[in-house]
Chain A
């Protein structure tokens, strides 16, 4: 049993921690927050060219470093800890994973190569007011000569106003649910694409609206088979969910650490408030949450690694005993067992990490007392990030219901 970092993974984590402590300071975050772009281009250049982070889990054949999902999660956790303002989750968590899951060899060569070289990307799939399921896909695609004609409106697109490359989900007119969905990848500069920043409560991560007005793309833009992309999109969203859960661990950790540090300095009634049990017990509950969240996120990262790299027809990678693998059994509806294990692990992680990050950030404000609600102290930024991350890709209740369907209704998610 080696459910811990290897030496190499520990090194990657430590390097990320040290680098981010330098570049993603409170001042840097606040400077990025004040811009419409939402991040520093110079920093992104450094991240992509010097650190090569976007290339982390891109296979070497496509110009990447060929590392795994655990390394990605380790990095994402550190980004959460410092609230790094950068289009990393959008580019890597969403777009790279979409390309890895659904891209053709030519698409991977072209776009993953560009991303490894510093281009940014994102995935757009949600219609206004929708939730992160198949029904969220409302943009349409229809055959148009040799290619397709895309129309529709997306909201909640991470870094959608600045991304260089877009992965888009659209459905054949008249279809619903999981039927009729296709994925496309295209440059954001394609004619007919218009994009607009949507200001958000969490100022540390940007969202945008994207409108498609008769956007014409060739068949080379289509990812996978036409009309049957829901499993690929669902798997992409599960992978992005795992990356996001790891980020939430970092948010939860920093909310705890900064709050403990504050209570060790703040003196009332002649002693540091950290010496009161009312404070200590709250901090202990916060530590329980973050440690359990960490276990869930890294378990999911291990499963994601298998699901991304593993042979889709392979056996259960999680060992022979039923509790070790998914206790929900194989796949009654005939899906890929690795993908089913990923879906379960992603929902467990997202449900728990969402609440852990929110709990810790909320308690963090309380432990900070009056200064917790000022703009000056960073805990408010963690509180806002915790909430936006909870909402993104399904909140805790949404993921619990997804698990309940498996547990109680015998459905494959």
Chain B
């Protein structure tokens, strides 16, 4: 067992840190530490400009193969990049859906024409994507999508009808990828297609969802005879589920250490408050602060195991299976700890009417952490069934 990155990876770390120090400044100073989860609505134009700056430096899509404009960076290097990016206060990435979801999906499953058409815009930080998966009746039961896609014989285009929900950054994106039912008589994961669609068309309507924070990262997206070019389906009709699930497999833990850096910033904030207001002398709060520290350190150790591979058969490792349940539960507890450390001050909103502080916003938004991306209950089902071999849930 070894706990360190290789000297080459440490040199790469140095290169990343230096570039960020020289470029994430001046006009970009205001967006440092902004635009993360719960704050995605902030500084959108500036963050789009920042994407192009990143692209100029060759820091978008670093994990993509070189032939598609990436650096072919190793998993370790991607981890190091994300960690340094978070340490430097790099703003929430406007391009992350294109970079981490659309791109890898097209590289794996897309046609040459689709790659040529879509990858350069993502790589250049000029074209942004959103994700059309969840629907009002397809949340945890994602395969229950009702949105339909019909190939119109006369126009030769796909015509899409239905509704998506929880779509982040829909109003800021040029494109959306959508899973929709190509076979109207099909059920569950059969008979779906995976579509690449422009957002700027009359048949696509975006409606923001106001959240408990008073802000709106998420949207509803309505498709009313929206169109998609015939050759913008990825894979064949009926293969949409395979493509969509392949895409979920692209998450290999590269962003975990970057995420933990953000968490560390939040915990550091809480510790600063506790020292300043005397909460640090309260025995019960001391226990909880230490517990948060322990939890975050172990989160890192879990990631290190995840990144070290393990299962020779390529199966998802146990430490990877627990990861979402672990971090979401930890973060939700951190939110409550922040409020309890703040005490009476925790209620006071800095600016009328409802401009929350960073910790208040974090506290409220952490209630979403245990829901999106697979609720804690779904995660427990997955762990019990796939890792422990307990009986599968009956499916209707």
Chain A interfacial positions (CB closer than 8 Å to B) = 1-6, 9, 70, 256, 260, 263-264, 271-272, 274-275, 277, 279-281, 283-285, 287-288, 291-292, 295-296, 298-299, 301-303, 317-321, 323-324, 327, 348, 351-352, 397, 400-401, 403-404, 407-409
Contact = CB atoms under 8 A, between A and B. Distances in A.
Interface in B357-396: 377, 379-381, 383-385, 387-391, 393
Interface of B: 1-5, 10, 13, 76, 79, 83, 257, 260-261, 264, 271, 274-275, 280, 283, 286-287, 289-291, 293-294, 297-298, 300-302, 304-305, 307-310, 318-319, 322, 325-326, 377, 379-381, 383-385, 387-391, 393
A319 B76 CA distance: 14
A285 B380 contact: yes
A404 B13 contact: no
B393 A277 contact: yes
Contacts of A279: 390
Given A3-B305, A287-B383, A299 B294 contact: no
Given A284-B325, A284-B384, A400 B287 contact: yes
Contacts of B380: 277, 280-281, 284-285
Given A3-B2, A324-B3, A403-B294, 11 more contacts: A1-B76, A6-B1, A280-B381, A298-B1, A299-B301, A301-B1, A302-B1, A403-B293, A404-B290, A407-B289, A408-B271
A263 B305 contact: no
Nearest to B306: A3
B1 A5 contact: yes
Contacts of B384: 280-281, 283-284, 287
Contacts of B388: 256, 260, 280, 283-284, 287
Contact of B391 (A272, A302, A348): A272
A284 B290 contact: no
A408 B301 contact: no
Nearest to A296: B298
Contact of A296 (B264, B293, B301, B308): B301
Given A1-B307, A6-B1, A319-B3, A280 B387 contact: no
B370 to A, nearest CB: 13
Contact of B290 (A263, A302, A407): A407
Contacts of B322: 287-288, 291-292
Contacts of A6: 1
A321 B300 CA distance: 13
A84 B264 CA distance: 39
Given A274-B390, A284-B325, A288-B383, A3 B3 contact: yes
